[in-house]
Chain A
Protein backbone atom coordinates (compact mmCIF):
# COMPACT_ATOMS: atom_id res chain seq x y z
CA UNK A 1 0.00 0.00 0.00
CA UNK A 2 1.62 3.20 -1.22
CA UNK A 3 0.92 5.84 1.44
CA UNK A 4 2.70 8.60 -0.47
CA UNK A 5 2.00 8.82 -4.18
CA UNK A 6 3.58 10.80 -6.96
CA UNK A 7 1.38 9.96 -9.90
CA UNK A 8 3.43 11.73 -12.55
CA UNK A 9 6.62 9.81 -13.23
CA UNK A 10 7.98 12.63 -15.38
CA UNK A 11 7.45 16.29 -16.21
CA UNK A 12 8.98 18.48 -18.92
CA UNK A 13 9.03 22.28 -18.58
CA UNK A 14 10.60 25.13 -20.52
CA UNK A 15 13.30 27.17 -18.85
CA UNK A 16 11.88 30.22 -17.11
CA UNK A 17 8.40 28.71 -16.69
CA UNK A 18 6.86 27.27 -13.55
CA UNK A 19 7.33 23.62 -12.59
CA UNK A 20 4.60 22.07 -10.45
CA UNK A 21 5.25 18.70 -8.88
CA UNK A 22 2.40 16.96 -7.09
CA UNK A 23 2.16 14.50 -4.26
CA UNK A 24 -0.82 12.80 -2.58
CA UNK A 25 -0.91 10.92 0.68
CA UNK A 26 -3.39 8.68 2.42
CA UNK A 27 -2.38 8.66 6.08
CA UNK A 28 -3.99 11.48 8.03
CA UNK A 29 -1.43 10.95 10.80
CA UNK A 30 1.37 12.41 8.67
CA UNK A 31 2.33 15.75 10.19
CA UNK A 32 5.47 16.83 8.37
CA UNK A 33 6.33 16.75 4.71
CA UNK A 34 9.58 17.15 2.81
CA UNK A 35 10.81 17.41 -0.74
CA UNK A 36 14.14 15.99 -1.83
CA UNK A 37 15.99 16.41 -5.08
CA UNK A 38 18.12 13.62 -6.49
CA UNK A 39 20.64 13.55 -9.30
CA UNK A 40 21.63 10.20 -10.87
CA UNK A 41 24.08 8.14 -8.81
CA UNK A 42 23.92 10.59 -5.91
CA UNK A 43 22.08 10.65 -2.60
CA UNK A 44 18.95 12.82 -2.30
CA UNK A 45 19.45 16.35 -1.03
CA UNK A 46 16.93 18.10 1.15
CA UNK A 47 15.06 20.89 -0.59
CA UNK A 48 12.19 22.23 1.47
CA UNK A 49 9.72 21.08 4.11
CA UNK A 50 6.37 22.02 5.59
CA UNK A 51 4.62 21.28 8.84
CA UNK A 52 0.97 20.27 8.82
CA UNK A 53 0.09 23.41 10.78
CA UNK A 54 0.99 25.50 7.75
CA UNK A 55 -0.37 25.59 4.23
CA UNK A 56 2.59 27.24 2.52
CA UNK A 57 6.34 27.49 2.90
CA UNK A 58 8.60 29.44 0.60
CA UNK A 59 12.36 29.37 0.09
CA UNK A 60 13.66 31.36 -2.84
CA UNK A 61 12.41 29.84 -6.08
CA UNK A 62 10.81 26.92 -4.24
CA UNK A 63 7.38 26.96 -2.62
CA UNK A 64 5.55 24.03 -1.09
CA UNK A 65 1.77 24.11 -0.68
CA UNK A 66 -0.15 21.78 1.60
CA UNK A 67 -3.88 21.05 1.34
CA UNK A 68 -4.68 18.85 4.32
CA UNK A 69 -8.33 18.34 3.49
CA UNK A 70 -7.35 16.97 0.09
CA UNK A 71 -4.25 15.21 1.47
CA UNK A 72 -2.26 16.85 -1.28
CA UNK A 73 0.94 18.81 -1.48
CA UNK A 74 2.75 20.41 -4.35
CA UNK A 75 6.16 21.89 -5.04
CA UNK A 76 6.38 24.97 -7.25
CA UNK A 77 9.64 25.98 -8.82
CA UNK A 78 9.68 29.37 -10.48
CA UNK A 79 11.46 30.26 -12.62
CA UNK A 80 12.64 26.78 -13.62
CA UNK A 81 16.29 26.41 -14.59
CA UNK A 82 18.08 23.61 -16.47
CA UNK A 83 20.00 22.79 -13.28
CA UNK A 84 16.69 21.89 -11.65
CA UNK A 85 16.49 18.80 -13.85
CA UNK A 86 16.50 15.88 -11.43
CA UNK A 87 14.19 13.39 -9.73
CA UNK A 88 12.07 14.96 -7.01
CA UNK A 89 10.86 12.86 -4.09
CA UNK A 90 8.04 13.77 -1.78
CA UNK A 91 8.28 12.35 1.75
CA UNK A 92 6.02 12.32 4.78
CA UNK A 93 6.87 11.81 8.41
CA UNK A 94 5.12 9.20 10.48
CA UNK A 95 5.55 9.27 14.24
CA UNK A 96 5.15 5.87 15.83
CA UNK A 97 4.42 6.46 19.49
CA UNK A 98 6.84 9.38 19.39
CA UNK A 99 9.70 6.91 19.26
CA UNK A 100 11.43 7.89 16.12
CA UNK A 101 11.32 9.81 12.94
CA UNK A 102 10.52 7.68 9.90
CA UNK A 103 9.95 9.04 6.43
CA UNK A 104 7.71 7.47 3.83
CA UNK A 105 8.81 8.35 0.31
CA UNK A 106 6.92 8.62 -2.93
CA UNK A 107 8.22 7.02 -6.12
CA UNK A 108 9.60 10.29 -7.49
CA UNK A 109 8.98 12.56 -10.47
CA UNK A 110 11.66 13.16 -13.07
CA UNK A 111 11.73 16.85 -13.96
CA UNK A 112 13.37 17.89 -17.22
CA UNK A 113 13.83 21.63 -17.76
CA UNK A 114 14.41 22.39 -21.42
CA UNK A 115 16.70 25.32 -22.30
Chain B
Protein backbone atom coordinates (compact mmCIF):
# COMPACT_ATOMS: atom_id res chain seq x y z
CA UNK B 1 0.00 0.00 0.00
CA UNK B 2 1.05 3.58 -0.53
CA UNK B 3 2.17 5.83 2.29
CA UNK B 4 3.28 9.42 2.41
CA UNK B 5 5.60 10.92 4.99
CA UNK B 6 6.28 14.51 5.91
CA UNK B 7 8.77 15.94 8.35
CA UNK B 8 9.16 17.68 10.57
CA UNK B 9 5.67 17.60 12.07
CA UNK B 10 6.09 21.02 13.66
CA UNK B 11 8.64 23.76 13.17
CA UNK B 12 9.21 27.17 14.74
CA UNK B 13 11.59 29.40 12.81
CA UNK B 14 12.68 33.03 13.11
CA UNK B 15 11.97 35.52 10.33
CA UNK B 16 14.77 35.50 7.77
CA UNK B 17 15.87 31.93 8.46
CA UNK B 18 15.94 29.21 5.77
CA UNK B 19 13.38 26.44 5.43
CA UNK B 20 13.43 22.88 4.19
CA UNK B 21 10.41 20.59 4.41
CA UNK B 22 10.58 17.10 3.05
CA UNK B 23 7.96 14.75 1.68
CA UNK B 24 8.45 11.17 0.56
CA UNK B 25 6.02 8.68 -0.93
CA UNK B 26 6.28 4.91 -0.71
CA UNK B 27 4.57 2.17 -2.64
CA UNK B 28 4.05 3.90 -5.96
CA UNK B 29 6.10 4.98 -8.97
CA UNK B 30 6.11 8.23 -10.89
CA UNK B 31 3.49 9.93 -8.75
CA UNK B 32 2.28 13.47 -9.27
CA UNK B 33 3.35 15.42 -6.20
CA UNK B 34 1.88 18.56 -4.71
CA UNK B 35 2.61 21.12 -2.00
CA UNK B 36 -0.34 22.93 -0.42
CA UNK B 37 -0.56 25.50 2.34
CA UNK B 38 -3.47 26.03 4.68
CA UNK B 39 -3.24 29.45 6.33
CA UNK B 40 -5.28 30.19 9.43
CA UNK B 41 -9.00 30.38 8.59
CA UNK B 42 -8.44 29.68 4.91
CA UNK B 43 -8.73 26.77 2.53
CA UNK B 44 -6.00 24.75 0.90
CA UNK B 45 -3.89 26.69 -1.54
CA UNK B 46 -1.85 24.82 -4.14
CA UNK B 47 1.75 26.07 -4.12
CA UNK B 48 3.63 23.69 -6.40
CA UNK B 49 3.06 20.51 -8.33
CA UNK B 50 5.39 18.11 -10.08
CA UNK B 51 4.70 15.44 -12.68
CA UNK B 52 8.23 14.06 -12.72
CA UNK B 53 11.82 14.38 -11.50
CA UNK B 54 13.08 17.92 -11.91
CA UNK B 55 9.71 19.14 -13.22
CA UNK B 56 8.20 21.81 -11.00
CA UNK B 57 5.27 24.12 -11.68
CA UNK B 58 4.57 27.07 -9.42
CA UNK B 59 1.04 28.22 -8.80
CA UNK B 60 1.54 31.43 -6.82
CA UNK B 61 4.37 33.95 -6.64
CA UNK B 62 6.16 33.72 -3.31
CA UNK B 63 9.50 33.36 -1.67
CA UNK B 64 9.17 29.59 -1.55
CA UNK B 65 10.61 27.08 -4.00
CA UNK B 66 10.23 23.36 -4.57
CA UNK B 67 12.48 20.63 -5.89
CA UNK B 68 12.08 16.99 -6.81
CA UNK B 69 15.50 15.36 -6.72
CA UNK B 70 14.11 11.82 -6.78
CA UNK B 71 10.95 10.20 -8.12
CA UNK B 72 9.26 9.95 -4.73
CA UNK B 73 10.83 12.90 -2.93
CA UNK B 74 9.48 16.43 -2.91
CA UNK B 75 11.13 19.29 -1.02
CA UNK B 76 9.77 22.72 -0.13
CA UNK B 77 12.36 25.39 0.60
CA UNK B 78 12.88 29.03 1.36
CA UNK B 79 16.05 31.08 1.66
CA UNK B 80 14.47 33.66 4.00
CA UNK B 81 11.19 33.07 5.79
CA UNK B 82 8.56 35.78 6.20
CA UNK B 83 5.95 36.05 8.92
CA UNK B 84 3.29 35.38 6.27
CA UNK B 85 4.84 31.97 5.57
CA UNK B 86 3.32 30.62 8.77
CA UNK B 87 0.75 27.93 8.14
CA UNK B 88 0.06 24.24 7.77
CA UNK B 89 1.96 22.71 4.84
CA UNK B 90 0.62 19.61 3.19
CA UNK B 91 2.19 17.31 0.66
CA UNK B 92 -0.04 15.17 -1.54
CA UNK B 93 0.32 12.59 -4.28
CA UNK B 94 -1.78 11.20 -7.09
CA UNK B 95 -1.24 8.78 -9.93
CA UNK B 96 -2.19 9.48 -13.51
CA UNK B 97 -5.40 11.23 -14.43
CA UNK B 98 -7.90 8.41 -14.49
CA UNK B 99 -7.84 8.36 -10.72
CA UNK B 100 -7.87 11.98 -9.73
CA UNK B 101 -7.96 11.54 -6.01
CA UNK B 102 -5.06 13.16 -4.21
CA UNK B 103 -3.83 11.62 -0.98
CA UNK B 104 -2.38 13.84 1.67
CA UNK B 105 0.43 13.51 4.16
CA UNK B 106 0.11 14.38 7.85
CA UNK B 107 1.31 17.96 7.34
CA UNK B 108 3.88 20.29 8.90
CA UNK B 109 2.85 23.13 11.18
CA UNK B 110 5.23 26.04 10.52
CA UNK B 111 5.30 29.05 12.80
CA UNK B 112 7.49 31.97 11.81
CA UNK B 113 8.24 34.37 14.67
Contacts and interface: CB of A to CB of B under 8 A. Distances in A.
Contacts of A43: 6, 90, 92, 104-107
Contact of B44 (A41, A44, A98): A44
A45 B104 contact: yes
Contacts of A95: 97
Binding site secondary structure of chain A: strand
A72 interface: no
Nearest to A107: B43
B106 to A, nearest CB: 5
Contacts, number: 61
Interface in A34-89: 34, 36, 41-46, 49, 89
Interface residues of B, number: 27
A23 B102 CA distance: 19
B32 interface: yes
B49 A102 contact: yes
Binding site secondary structure of chain B: strand
Interface string B50-89: 0100000101000000000000000000000000000010
Contact of A44 (B45, B57, B104): B104
Nearest to B97: A101
Contacts of B94: 101
Contacts of B59: 102
B101 A46 contact: yes
Contacts of A93: 100
Interface of A: 4, 6, 32, 34, 36, 41-46, 49, 89, 91, 93, 95, 98-108
21 contacts: A4-B43, A34-B100, A36-B104, A41-B88, A41-B107, A43-B104, A43-B107, A45-B104, A46-B102, A93-B100, A98-B97, A99-B51, A100-B49, A101-B102, A102-B46, A102-B59, A105-B43, A105-B45, A105-B46, A107-B41, A107-B43
